[in-house]
Amino acid sequence: MEQAIQGVLLDEAALTLEELARACAVEPGWVVHRVRTGILLNDAGGQPEAWRFTSVDLVRARELVRIEQDFDAGEELAALVVDLTEEVRRLKSRLRLLGHH
């Protein structure tokens, strides 16, 4: 098995389906399924070979993989946990901007 890609991407950087799968240490089919079910890359159209993923997509995909594996969670539960975690992060950020700790 190939080694997972490590590092930080800029938001403008774009990963292909194969690169995202490798970076998450999953099969491309795992990514395709989650894109088609709306869990990843909500605005994907066209063929999977044309899809491009940002660093935000990479972070989300890695979180999904971690939750699915660590907690033996189904994809829908993992997506819900990631959605809620992202929302909590956004709300905490807004509170900090408003001067609340």
Is 80 exceeded by the pLDDT of residue 7? Answer: no
For 32-69, the pLDDT digits (tens) are 999 999 999 867 788 999 999 999 999 999 999 999 99
Residue 92 forms part of a structural domain? yes
Residue 2 forms part of a structural domain? no
| Residue 6, number of CB atoms within 10 A of its CB | 6
Residue 70 forms part of a structural domain? yes
Q: What is the C-alpha to C-alpha distance for residues 37 and 60, in angstroms, rounded to an integer?
A: 15
Q: Which domain holds residue 39?
A: 17-97
Q: Count up the domains in the chain and report the number.
A: 1
Residue 3 forms part of a structural domain? no
The pTM score is 0.82
